[in-house]
């Protein structure tokens, strides 16, 4: 029998943020976008554009370009430092991460109707034992979680606006991705779409 997909270290808090908290967080995100415009990253080597657009908050941000994946202190297009991580997210990290140090990066993933994120592992952080905390805003996503090998069995479920996921333990090293986003499933984001915020500790 194939082993069930990773459950160790995976914690889902459905509706952790109520509508008021979601709106306040979305406002804090949108206020920072002019200083750190959302851009379309490309895949290393191939240069193929990703379908998810991105930006970051925090002292470090995750970027992907023709050269590879890395964390860096400045926006690739503007050359400016990333804006600060919104305070409600720092508070959420203190509440749910169980990690003594604050997050250094908040990756902002912006999904439209055709966006998807293929199965991958998050492995660019030196702080490999620190959890990742994810917050979903806007349209519902179909999320897929696998195991430690690309070929491991997967389970999929919906991530809705206000849901928080903590990825610790074995789940932190598991393959995962977003198959698609259900257009029109939320009214939170004006113009529609989904925004996912992931808080990460990068350095040890
Ligand atoms: C499982 N983001 O940014 S969030 C990513 O919805 C990423 O935008 C997805 O995968 C998104 O790298 C999924 C939930 C999540 C985040 C990090 C994980 C699941 C994870 C790290 C390890 C395992
Ligand atoms: Fe990921």
**Mean pLDDT on 93-110:** 98
For a pocket test of ligand 1, which of 134, 137, 175, 178 has the largest count of ligand atoms closer than 8 A to its C-beta? Answer: 134
Per-residue pLDDT at 3:
58
pLDDT of residue 54: 98
Tell me, yes or no, whether 2 lies in a domain: no
* pLDDT value, residue 83: 99
| Rounded Cα distance, 41 and 157, in Å | 26
Q: Tell me the DSSP string of 46-89.
A: T-PBPSSEEEEEES-EEEEETTEEEEESB-TTT-PBPPPPPHHH
pLDDT value at position 1? 44
- Give the domain CATH number at 35: 2.60.120.590
CA distance 202 to 131: 10
Note whether residue 46 is domain-resident.
Answer: yes
Is residue 5 in some structural domain?
Answer: no
How far, in Å, from the CA of 180 to the mean position of ligand 1?
A: 13
Instruction: Count structural domains, the chain.
Output: 1
27: containing domain: 10-200
Domain membership of residue 3 (yes or no) is: no
pLDDT tens digit sequence for 43-85: 999 999 999 999 999 999 999 999 999 999 999 999 999 999 9
For 151-199, the pLDDT digits (tens) are 999 999 999 999 999 999 999 999 999 999 999 999 999 999 999 999 9
Sequence-ordered list of residues with C-beta below 8 angstroms from that of 47, at least 6 positions apart, any chain: 66
Ligand 1 centre and the CA of 122: distance in Å? 8
Nearest Cα residue to atom 17 of ligand 1: 132
Q: 69 in a domain, yes or no?
A: yes
Q: Which residues pair with 69 in a beta bridge?
A: 64
Residue range 94-100: mean pLDDT, rounded: 98
- The average confidence (pLDDT) of the chain is 97
Does 35 fall in a domain? yes
Q: Could you tell which of 7, 129, 195, 198 is best to mutate to test the pocket of ligand 1, judged by most ligand atoms within 8 Å of the CB?
A: 198
Judge whether 58 lies within some domain.
yes
* Domain contains 167: yes
Q: Which pLDDT value is given to residue 4?
A: 60
């Amino acid at each position: 029998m194939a082993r069930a997909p990773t459950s160790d270290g995976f914690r889902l808090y459905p509706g952790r943020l109520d509508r008021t908290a979601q709106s306040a967080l979305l406002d804090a995100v949108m206020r920072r976008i002019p200083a750190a415009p959302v851009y379309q990253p490309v895949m290393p080597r191939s240069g193929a554009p990703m379908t998810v657009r991105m930006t970051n908050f925090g002292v470090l941000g995750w970027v992907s370009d023709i050269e590879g994946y890395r964390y860096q202190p400045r926006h690739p297009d503007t050359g400016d430092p990333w804006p600060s991580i919104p305070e409600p997210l720092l508070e959420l990290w203190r509440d749910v991460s169980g990690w003594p140090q604050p997050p250094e990066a908040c990756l902002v993933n912006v999904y439209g109707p055709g966006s998807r994120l293929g199965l991958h592992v998050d492995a660019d952080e030196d702080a490999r034992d620190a959890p990742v905390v994810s917050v979903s805003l806007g349209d519902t996503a179909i999320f897929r979680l696998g195991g430690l090998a690309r070929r491991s069995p997967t389970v999929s479920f919906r991530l809705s606006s206000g849901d928080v996921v903590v990825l610790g333990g074995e789940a932190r090293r598991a393959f995962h991705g977003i198959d698609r986003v259900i257009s029109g499933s939320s009214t939170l984001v004006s113009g529609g779409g989904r925004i996912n915020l992931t808080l990460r500790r990068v350095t040890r």
